[in-house]
Amino acid sequence: EVQLVESGGGLVQPGGSLRLSCAASGFTFSSYAMSWVRQAPGKGLEWVSAISGSGGSTYYADSVKGRFTISRDNSKNTLYLQMNSLRAEDTAVYYCAKASVVAATPAYFDYWGQGTLVTVSS
């Protein structure tokens, strides 16, 4: 059974940093790309970042480029999102999502974690 469990969310001040983790199980982690998707309170889904199965290719939404870094440790079956220079508009539930193939694109998301809430506020 595929499981994705996010952690690391919490309350952080504007300008601060946070690192999210997503522990994966139930599939061959290195064989699939992974993504982070976020959802601000009461709003729709926004794709944030993606990484290929090997970790060699990464992609970012314009809204987070230069501030967020996606990475993965295939030996630990874990996906990460390092978030720096956080802003109030980054407040959202952050989901990790498993892509359908090893490449980050084109790929839909066939499994999602339960999400972790990040709140950016002073």
Partner 1 sequence: DIQMTQSPSTLSASVGDRVTITCRASQSISSWLAWYQQKPGKAPKLLIYKASSLESGVPSRFSGSGSGTEFTLTISSLQPDDFATYYCQQYNSIGTFGQGTKVEIK
Residues near partner 1, by CB under 8 A: 35, 37, 44-47, 50, 59, 62, 95, 100, 104-115
Residue number, 12 or 107, with CB nearest to partner 1 = 107
Residue number, 62 or 75, with CB nearest to partner 1 = 62
As measured in angstroms, the least distance from the Cβ of 15 to partner 1 is: 27
Residue number, 75 or 108, with CB nearest to partner 1 = 108
Residue number, 85 or 105, with CB nearest to partner 1 = 105
Contact present, 106 and 99 (Cβ < 8 Å): no
As measured in angstroms, the least distance from the Cβ of 75 to partner 1 is: 26
Contact present, 33 and 22 (Cβ < 8 Å): no
As measured in angstroms, the least distance from the Cβ of 20 to partner 1 is: 15
E strand segments, 1-122:
3-7, 10-12, 18-25, 34-39, 45-51, 58-60, 68-73, 78-83, 92-99, 109-112, 116-120
Q: Across the strands, what pairs with 70? A: 81
